[in-house]
Structure 1
Amino acid sequence: MTVDVLTEIVIERPVETVAEYAGDPSNAPQWYANIESVVWQTEPPVAVGSRMDFVAQFLGRRLAYTYDVVELVPGRRLVMRTAQGPFPMETSYEWVPVGEAATRMTLRNRGEPSGLAGVAGPLMAAAMRRANGKDLARLKELLEAR
């Protein structure tokens, strides 16, 4: 079963500001509640081919995985993929201007869970949807306070 969770929010900050902050994996622990750490395997800044090790907590489990940046359109789109573990996943961010000073940010997580993770796909999707909504709300709060 494919898991495909799409979450959007409008942030009252220009696209450049939102994309610069949210598109820097080093900032992820500040706005993602479940991400504990990010360690770069390659030198920053983010570029196609960049690799980062993430450690997260999700549904009561510790997850360690490596993201590979597979697409980057600065100020517009970032796509990262991981192939390891029971739930290979692709995470993408898109930033679109809304008027002159706001940004619609879209966060999408897609993957094909296997084994037990495959059976729990609907539960995982619901949990991801809740977590992503909270994470984008936190990002909005952080950026609009700047």
Structure 2
Amino acid sequence: MVNVETEILIRRPREEVAEYAANPDNAPEWYDNIHSAQRLSAGPIDVGSKVAFTAKFMGRDLNYTYEFVEYVPGEKLVMRTAQGPFPMQTTYTWAEISGGTRMTLGNSGQPSGFSKLAGLLMPPMIRRATRKDLQKLKSILEGDAAL
């Protein structure tokens, strides 16, 4: 079982951080490994929305679809994918704290088959990658190009 959680303080209002991070169109800008995101559902993001992502992980291109299974705007977003050798759930939470927003990014999943062995190596890799991604998100939102 892989279960990795990282967090960061972003010195911007919670609503702005959550709106930007929850928008899958922005994912390629702040996720280093995500190269594209395509909405498969019309309308605003909500429970049941689906998004196809193309990412690079461990030197391989991965195509996967996340379904939004829980969404409380400004508070929490849970996305889940079931296809492929490594079903994954990603959870974002946003909390208002003095000086800005604490964003938590969690990834959990249960690798199967060959991925089971890779699953032993994945937690430190995922932790490193998500820390880097959250740092990039922080830079984007706190920088001159902030919303």
TM range (shorter): over 0.9
User: Aligned letter for 2:104?
Assistant: T
Runs (5+) with no aligned partner, structure 2: none
* Separation of aligned partners in 2, 1:8 and 1:44: 29
* Separation of aligned partners in 2, 1:133 and 1:83: 24
- Counterpart of 1:92 in structure 2 is 91
- Counterpart of 2:100 in structure 1 is 102
CA-CA distance at 1:44 after TM superposition: 3.8
Aligned-residue CA RMSD in angstroms?
0.8
How many residues align? The count is 144
* Separation of aligned partners in 2, 1:82 and 1:71: 13
CA-CA distance at 1:122 after TM superposition: 2.2
* Separation of aligned partners in 2, 1:28 and 1:9: 17
**Residues 44, 33 of structure 1: CA spacing in aligned structure 2 closer, same or farther, 3 A cutoff?**
farther
- Counterpart of 1:71 in structure 2 is 70
* Separation of aligned partners in 1, 2:127 and 2:120: 11
Query: Match for 2:113 among 112, 115, 119?
Result: 115
User: Aligned letter for 2:36?
Assistant: S
* Separation of aligned partners in 1, 2:131 and 2:5: 10
Structure 1 residues 1-146: aligned runs within 5 Å: 2-99=1-98, 101-145=99-143, 146=146
SS in 1 for 2:114: helix
Identity percentage of aligned residues: 56
* Separation of aligned partners in 2, 1:115 and 1:10: 37
TM-score by length of 1: 0.96
* Separation of aligned partners in 1, 2:111 and 2:28: 24
* CA displacement 1:29-72 (0-9 Å, x = unmatched): 00000000001110142100000100000111111000000000
* CA displacement 1:3-42 (0-9 Å, x = unmatched): 0010000000010010000010110000000000001110
* Separation of aligned partners in 1, 2:13 and 2:66: 27
Q: Which runs of 4+ in 1 moved over 2 A?
A: none
CA-CA distance at 1:116 after TM superposition: 1.2
